[in-house]
Amino acid sequence: MKTSNNGLTSLAIIQTIVADPNLRVSIIESLASDFNLIEKIGHDFRLTAKGHDFISFAELDKERAEFKERENIEFRKSKVDLELAERVLKEFPRTKFFAWSGFIIGVLLLLKELYTMLYK
């Protein structure tokens, strides 16, 4: 494709390749938003850095699949974290009760020892 001095390419070039205007718009939107290969500037477009390095759509599909897999792993991790947090919240009152019980028993034993030490 022929570009101007500022790196812009006219959309007229795509008009020569794709005759149907609806298909042309969908291709341009897909290249711009889905694949991030071009940057639309009015009626012209410029290749992005990803567009300059573009080899094939198979590489983009592979990249997209890896991204989805990473998102899936993050989702599963957050789901496990949520389940653990819910379990901790369920056990919190019981743990708090045992902690207070231990504290009260400790204070009572301390007072008993002080009493036996002072009065005997």
pLDDT tens readout for residues 19-51 = 676 776 777 777 777 777 777 777 666 777 776
Verify that 49 and 61 share a domain, yes or no: no
Where b means 16+ CB within 10 Å and e means fewer, 95-107 reads: eeeeeeeeeeeee
Same structural domain for residues 62 and 41?
no
Chain position carrying tokens 């949520």: 82
Same structural domain for residues 5 and 44?
yes
Distance CA 27, CA 14 (A): 9
Provide the domain count of the chain. Answer: 2
Q: Are residues 50 and 61 in the same domain?
A: no
Smallest CA-to-CA distance from 48 within 62, 38, 58, 40 is with: 38
Domain that holds residue 76: 56-120
Compute the residue count for the chain: 120
Write down the pTM of the prediction: 0.45
Residue at which a domain ends, from 35, 54, 73: 54
